[in-house]
Structure 1
Amino acid sequence: MTGSQQEARAARTAPPGPPRRATLRLLKQLFTDRLALMGDNAEAYGDVVRIAIGPKAMYLVNHPDLAKHVLADNAANYHKGIGLQEARRALGDGLLTSDGETWKKQRRTIQPVFQPKRISRQAAVVAAEVDALIQRLAAHDGPVEILHEMTGLTLGVLGKTLLDAELGGYETLGHSFEAVQDQAMFEAVTLSMVPQWVPLKKQLEFRTARDDLRRIADELVEQRLANPVENGEDVLSRLIASGSEDGASRERMRDELITLLLAGHETTASTLGWAFHLIDEHPEVGERLHAEAVDVLGDRLPEHEDLRRLTYTVAVVEEVMRLYPPVWLLPRIAQADDEIGGYHVPAGSDVVVVPYTLHRHPEFWTDPERFDPGRFDPENPAGRPPRYAYIPFGAGPRFCIGNSLGVMEAVFVLAMAARDLELRKVPGKVVDPEAMLSLRVRGGLPMTVHRRERTRRAEAA
């Protein structure tokens, strides 16, 4: 086959996508509205889209079968991609950014900490942390910044359940991780063409944040080395034991801790922020959550077994993650040529599976923009879409290791908050998504707190 014939064949098998003349519009969306960039092109061109911006081309994948191919069936061909590559400057080669044998070893080291039996034993710790949060919220007279409170909660839970450590003294953690996300996304959308030495405010804040995260990780390791836990099952103990066994450097331990701190708190905090927003928008959902919490919990704290009884609360969490998946983008880089949906994808291409658009695919979701927890009614399993049409925790070998802890934490928060409180957005607050490494509420979420009475439905009748 001649060179011209090969080029013609490649052109015939390339996915559809926006024309070159749309470059300026695409660049604007890349900077200002990444969700629209993905959603508009999926709607216009189908389930495999080639989006060329400047010298780079990105392949958008938006079908359950094709997501399965990239994330599971041919996962070995796809390494971590855009956004996560840039985040490596702060996270190093932690579980979120590493690949190959390094990733496999890290996963084996940490996996036992997330075993279902161990997570179930942490339910009392999670419930106590949530109870303290509810009491703090109830004591507020004026508006409270919910996202700040959720970040504090999730960091506290992470410290006690996974690290066997107190993180309450590290108040800069949340801000530092925001700076890391901002810089990683800035480098991704500018194709890393802005030198890192340029003293932009964003880059200066990133350097300060990176140093802060490294300091905190080093302090946590030093504290554990000074006070070892015999036969410790927590992440710190396992990392230290693993390092002593294979001579791994302190730097690798630091990378793992920083990654765990980010991934372990950001996704759940983001999910809870969106949950409180959606419940405020749909008061009938809040009423039903309240009734279920009163019926199931009464005046006590939740236990792990309550996850089977709080069925509506679990459905609300699942529907929140459908509309606003905390990990809205799963970026990969093709290591070798591949074929996706009948289209040629060259080696080195950026391939992105986008849960945000996949979870709104009209072929698999009825009225996909509507908030409807009934989609996840356990008594109507036939109504659920195909497995890979709903992937809030990713899929395949890199399925989120902390999903069960995150769901338990979110369910406990919503149940206990709905039982005792009603949260209302401050009038005039506009809620928009901000697509960074996670999908968060732009500019925070101020809400007012109102007490509820714990009245059972039967008593009320």
Structure 2
Amino acid sequence: MRIHPPGPPVRALPGLLRKLVVDRLGLMKDAAALGDAVRVSMGPKKLYVFNRPDYAKYILADNSANYHKGIGLVEARRVLGDGLLTSDGEVWRNQRRAVQPAFKPGRINQQAGAVAEESVKLVALLRAHEGGGPVDILQEVTGLTLGVLGRTLLDLGLDAYDSIAHSFEEVQDQAMLEMVTQGMVPGWLPLPAQGRFRRARRELYRVADALVADRSARMTGGEPADDALSRIIKAAGEQERDPERVRRRLREELVTLLLAGHETTASTLGWTLHLLAGHPEARERVRAEAREVLDGRVPELGDLHRLTYTTKVVQEAMRLYPPVWVLPRVAQQDDTVGGYHVSAGADVLVCPYVMHRNPALWDDPERFDPERFDPERVASRPRYAYIPFGAGPRFCVGSNLGMMEAVFVTALVTRDLELRPVRGGEAVAEAMLSLRMRGGLPMTVHPVS
């Protein structure tokens, strides 16, 4: 006998459909309130939402081969194609194999100097606003993460490509539109959003073509080629023979790398600095630690393991606001998860945002408490209770670099500057492909008193 997870009453479905459009985090919270496993029927779609660590482990790791990329990411294929975020099977394995060496801890550790230098640039940019009007902190940290991405993974500067971040916003808007309309809005309709998306896609492809041409010329000239972009170029040339297929593959993989390589870290930094501004005691502890560990200098690799409280603050920010807020999958074959039947073709969701706030796993889960990440408290929780970087074979390949950026920037900015929220301003979480801040993060910059 097949046992299906419980679901909401039929009368609740209109409200759930509305939340799918305007409040996806609310939708996930409502689903979690019904239980650790929930099935929601939305027209032809069946959504299975699983909110227990052992269920997440089974879907993301133990039986990951049965669960391919799902809702949201499927719709992003119009621009990302079969990049690392959206591909599956052998295509994904080949892509992961090609870029993995560029993310090895040894190589990432060598980039600590570049990360520190970009962090110092950010502090200087913010200091120029001391005593002035509001500055969008999210925009500034996005510039930083693009700068780090260019230097560490592409071996190229991205300063000339300031259109990247805005173009990705339009891509995410379009992906979410297609998700909530279940693909029923034809792409050829002359809607304003469709036009913005097409312009953004053209711009991203233009940037990708220019970066590939630049790096290819330098590779031909004999420069070392151990960065991620060089490895992507080399793999595409070895595995594809048709020049048009090579060009399309390079576009898709590079655009994916640009999105994944900056968006999630920028989101984490925005939420971390926002939370510290609202929790003065934690902010002062970060500042004191940065002063003690760094002693007025820029951070070095060895400092990463000495900035222990700062690391806990970043981890807690990612608990409350995981940049990858949902992990969508599609079941390839019938399966059983925790005793519940899952039909082939069903959309399966594991939601870190909800699981990270589950009161059965976290005491007073809405409270900001970096001490949750003391080693003994971490050891007392199930391994899959905290998955800000995903889990299983698709665990985020850039997690080490992202953590280094977030810790270095948080330490330097907090040590040297005071960021204050703008009166009346409110940080609003917007669940897109990543958990971004709607309208940015306006703050004023002041010298440390």
Q: With the length of structure 2 as denominator, give the TM-score of the two structures.
A: 0.96
> What is residue 182 of structure 1 aligned with on the other side?
173
TM-fit CA distance, 1:381: 4.4
- Structure 1 Cα separation of the partners of residues 211 and 325 of structure 2: 30
- Structure 2 Cα separation of the partners of residues 330 and 247 of structure 1: 30
2:152 matches 1:161: yes
> What is residue 456 of structure 1 aligned with on the other side?
none
Q: What amino acid maps onto 1:36 in structure 2?
A: G
Match of 1:16 among 6, 9, 13: 6
Q: Is the 8 A contact 2:99 2:228 kept in 1?
A: yes
* Paired residue secondary structure (2:185): coil
2:64 matches 1:65: no
Bigger CA drift: 61-70 or 297-306?
297-306
Aligned length: 441
* Paired residue secondary structure (2:83): coil
After TM superposition, the structure 1 = structure 2 runs for residues 2-13 of structure 1, keeping only pairs within 5 Å, are: 9-10=1-2, 13=3
TM-fit CA distance, 1:242: 1.6
Q: 1:355 to 1:155 in 2, by over 3 A?
A: same
After TM superposition, the structure 1 = structure 2 runs for residues 82-101 of structure 1, keeping only pairs within 5 Å, are: 82-101=71-90
Match of 2:335 among 317, 338, 360: 338
TM-fit CA distance, 1:285: 0.9
Spell out structure 1 runs of 4+ moving beyond 6 A: none
After TM superposition, the structure 1 = structure 2 runs for residues 179-258 of structure 1, keeping only pairs within 5 Å, are: 179-228=170-219, 230-247=223-240, 249-258=246-255
Q: 1:208 to 1:154 in 2, by over 3 A?
A: same
> What is residue 270 of structure 2 aligned with on the other side?
273
> Which blocks of at least 5 consecutive residues in structure 1 are unaligned?
1-8, 454-461
RMSD: 1.1
Match of 2:448 among 445, 452, 458: 452
Q: With the length of structure 1 as denominator, give the TM-score of the two structures.
A: 0.94
- Structure 1 Cα separation of the partners of residues 177 and 165 of structure 2: 18
* Paired residue secondary structure (1:450): strand
After TM superposition, the structure 1 = structure 2 runs for residues 377-416 of structure 1, keeping only pairs within 5 Å, are: 377-378=374-375, 380-381=376-377, 384-416=380-412
Q: Is the 8 A contact 1:376 1:384 kept in 2?
A: no
Q: Is the 8 A contact 2:372 2:378 kept in 1?
A: no
2:83 matches 1:78: no
Q: Is the 8 A contact 1:23 1:54 kept in 2?
A: no
Q: Is the 8 A contact 1:328 1:435 kept in 2?
A: yes
> What is residue 4 of structure 1 aligned with on the other side?
none
- Structure 1 Cα separation of the partners of residues 115 and 310 of structure 2: 16
* Paired residue secondary structure (1:84): coil
- Structure 1 Cα separation of the partners of residues 19 and 62 of structure 2: 31
* Paired residue secondary structure (1:60): strand
- Structure 2 Cα separation of the partners of residues 32 and 382 of structure 1: 34
How many percent identity over aligned positions?
A: 62
- Structure 1 Cα separation of the partners of residues 42 and 81 of structure 2: 27
TM-fit CA distance, 1:247: 2.8
After TM superposition, the structure 1 = structure 2 runs for residues 250-329 of structure 1, keeping only pairs within 5 Å, are: 250-329=247-326
2:418 matches 1:422: yes
Q: Is the 8 A contact 1:79 1:335 kept in 2?
A: yes
> Which blocks of at least 5 consecutive residues in structure 2 are unaligned?
none
- Structure 2 Cα separation of the partners of residues 431 and 237 of structure 1: 38
Q: 1:384 to 1:150 in 2, by over 3 A?
A: farther
